[in-house]
Amino acid sequence: MNSQTPQSSIMMERIWLGVVFLSGWNISMCLLHQYHYVAEPKTWTEAQLHCRETYKDLATIENIEEVNQLVNTVSSLGYNDDVWIGLFSVIDWRWSNGSSGSGSEYRKWENQADNEPDFASYNQFCVNIGDTGRWWDDNCKLLYPFICYNGQQLDPEFVFVNQRMDWFSAQRYCRENFIDLATVRNDTENQKIQSLLPGGDWAWIGLFRDPHIYWSDGSGYTFSYLTPGSNTIGSMTRLCSYADLRISGKWRLWSCETRLPFVCYSVPPVKTPVMRQVVRLRIKPEDHSLDLNDFAVKADILKKASLQNPP
């Protein structure tokens, strides 16, 4: 049986539970890039250097929300034309057999009216030859007959295979049945191949390039807003991207030496979260009439709590 009276219970230890909110959580669940428009026209490389020195890098855009954010940022400053962003494509033509010796730089592009290679629709990474002996960059998934070679690389025998395959299947077929897809090193070899082609047709040869498209800051290229069109490549080894604000910020690839205004980005600072702390105190008040809601009493309690729980 509990012999304590209500009065004695009041005179016992009073337990006060204080919850001290040192700081609340304030974290954005989706940190967007913060964009900065620079009106001074520069080449893409000059713009990249400026952004890296002043902000983070040339603009990286990873979703449609960031497209709209960039467009709104620049348009609000009264500009609605082309601006460099951080996207670029590497143009590195290579032969299927890895040839890099004498003649490996030989090219016979169709360049009269079609201005090949033109990287149309951003999906042309493989090369075929037409019955005129001129070359075209084309979609690797299209089906064409193809040219293999046999014998020695320095003295090849070219073989026309009249089966329609995509470029990769043609490469595999040539490697399994001959040596590889044809490497073409000079006009003489090109004419030999041309003589094998039926009129009005094209055939795959061994020239190709990897689909290298990158962001300046090294981010993965997973979201695309490229608009279909033809691009002048010529002898360039890199194409750079601008956003056309006249068509909702759609991207195009162009000569990196063109001078345009540009957009940099920075990353908004992240506030470090601090957890809420629960402080438990046992208080033996001398005065049983002590008001725990009194401001001065609370201040004294928090002072004692800080001494018991130093940071």
Please give the pLDDT value at position 22. 33
Per-residue pLDDT reduced to its tens digit, 177-195: 999 999 999 999 999 999 9
> Residue 48 is encoded by which pair of tokens?
């990249």
> Residue 6 is encoded by which pair of tokens?
């209500």
Cα gap 249→65, rounded to integer Å: 11
Cα gap 78→264, rounded to integer Å: 17
Please give the pLDDT value at position 138. 95
Q: What amino acid occupies position 129?
A: I
Please give the pLDDT value at position 233. 86
Please give the pLDDT value at position 12. 36
**Could you tell me where the beta strands, DSSP code E, fall in the chain?**
14-20, 34-42, 57-58, 82-90, 94-95, 124-130, 135-139, 144-152, 155-165, 180-181, 202-208, 213-215, 238-244, 250-255, 260-266, 277-283
Question: Which residues have C-beta within 8 Å of that of residue 132, sequence separation ≥ 6?
Answer: 110, 194
With tokens 């729980």, the residue in question is: 309
Question: Which residues have C-beta within 8 Å of that of residue 70, sequence separation ≥ 6?
Answer: 35, 59, 61, 85, 243, 249, 263
Cα gap 182→189, rounded to integer Å: 10
Question: Which residues have C-beta within 8 Å of that of residue 114, sequence separation ≥ 6?
Answer: 136
Q: Classify residue 117 by burial, with Cβ atoms within 10 Å: 0-12, 13-18, 19+.
A: buried
Reference 241, options 228, 230, 255; nearest CA is 255
SS3 92: coil
Segments of the chain assigned to CATH 3.10.100.10: 34-90+212-266
Do you know the residue count of the chain? 311
Please give the pLDDT value at position 94. 96
Q: What is the pLDDT along the chain (311 residues), one digit of tens a residue?
A: 444 444 443 333 333 333 333 333 333 335 579 999 999 999 999 999 999 999 999 999 999 999 999 999 999 999 999 999 999 999 999 999 999 888 999 999 997 566 899 898 889 999 999 999 999 999 999 999 999 999 887 889 999 999 999 999 999 999 999 999 999 999 999 999 999 999 899 999 999 999 889 999 999 999 999 998 888 788 889 999 999 999 999 999 999 999 999 999 999 876 655 555 555 555 565 556 666 666 566 666 656 555 555 55
Q: What is the DSSP letter of 109?
A: B
> Residue 125 is encoded by which pair of tokens?
């990474």
Query: Which CATH entry fits the domain spanning 34-90+212-266: 3.80.10.10, 3.40.50.720, 3.30.300.130, 3.10.100.10?
Result: 3.10.100.10
Neighbours of 298 (CB within 10 A): 14
CB 165 within 8 A of CB 146: yes
CB 181 within 8 A of CB 147: yes
CB 35 within 8 A of CB 51: no
